Amino acid sequence: MFFVGQKYLMRSPEVFTAESASLPAGVQLAPPGAPAPHDWSRVGDYLAACGFPLDPGFTPRRFAGGLANLNFLLRMRNGEWVVLRRPPAGPLPPGAHDMAREHRILERLWRQLPLAPRSYHLCEDLAIAGAPFQLLEYRCGISIRGDSVAPLAETAQTGEALSRLLVEGLASIHSVDPAEAGLATLGKPEGFLARAARGWISRAGLVCDPTSPTVSGLAAWLEQHTAGLGGDGTLLHNDFKLDNLLLDPATLSPVAVLDWDMGTRGDALFDLATMLSYWSEAGDPECMTQLAQMPTARPGFLTREQAAVAYSRRTGRPLSDFKAYRVMAMFKLGVVFHQLYSRYRSGEVQDERYAGFGRLADGLLEFTQAIADDKYF
């Protein structure tokens, strides 16, 4: 749900300063002096010792936006821009914000998938920055965030083009041979979906209302319908959606696919279902409008079913068992928002954007039940 490189944000006076002239074109950063959880002198000394000397004349700056992973723009002594990426502060949900996993993927994948930014270095010494971090290749492009197509024109042609780009982008990821990319041992594809269901049911038990009949009903549904499915060993992004794509603003050609910290091998249809869990359309319940993750209810966009069929035709993968993947992905999304709300409720996060996540999570789980009951695709 969060970014590694530059993502498009509408310009605001407090983000841009006189320093902008020396920055990469179009970069969107938090205001200078925004709180940063690092001793940059210590980080700089460490990186220099590892062969990545920083430009002492540039103070690292945090990228604007995002709800979780922290991303900072750094400049190397040779003038190259790079990104330092680390998890948020505080306790993390199991398996989330895995910098080591993301580094393992991105230090290899760029050779087989040019849209994958390269990871140059992983630091796991918590004494350096207080958390593991990566040093990543910087890519510049626009990102379509939220439920607006800005800065693009809102036309049916734009919606159709972005729909096709999403389907093609996901199919391109799934065409990568993990063995050729050096990722043959990534993850555990055997029994992938049933194991994912057990894991997310367990996480739900930590953050959801234990008396909720919706949660218990969905847990039972998933246990029944995910057994024996999948395990084809496809390379998965695991959070593929429009704002994890950087685009060339002139051509809409993709520049990069970002956010690989949940990447693994598993069932390709789960990646498709994950993308569609963010895909709102006319007639959806309020929770999908409130989610506002992609502008797919705008003119010209495919419906979820049309996107799934387009993916199936592009890849040759049948959709006969797709509902189990769809329900699993939506259940996961509801639990994720309960996890975020739990951090807010405990005081670990003070960001007021989190205040409504509990209600949103409940709505997403109710929508999940409606999908299981064949009321929505």
One digit per residue, the tens of pLDDT, for the chain of length 377 reads: 323 333 322 323 333 343 444 898 878 788 876 666 689 999 999 999 999 999 999 999 998 766 678 999 999 999 999 999 999 877 666 667 899 999 999 999 999 999 999 999 999 999 999 999 999 999 998 889 899 999 999 999 999 999 999 999 999 999 999 999 999 999 999 999 999 999 999 999 999 998 999 999 999 999 999 998 877 899 999 999 999 999 998 888 999 999 999 999 999 999 999 999 999 999 999 999 999 999 999 999 999 999 999 999 999 999 999 999 999 999 999 999 999 999 899 998 888 999 999 999 999 999 999 999 999 99
Domains and CATH numbers, the chain: 18-137 (3.30.200), 156-372 (3.90.1200.10)
Burial code (b: 16+ CB inside 10 Å, e: under 16) for 289-301 equals ebbebbbbbbebb
The DSSP code for 37 is S
Terminus-to-terminus CA distance in the chain, angstroms?
Answer: 22
Positive or negative, the CA dihedral 291, 292, 296, 298 is positive
Strand-strand pairing, 133-137 and 119-123:
antiparallel
Is the whole-model pTM more than 0.85? yes
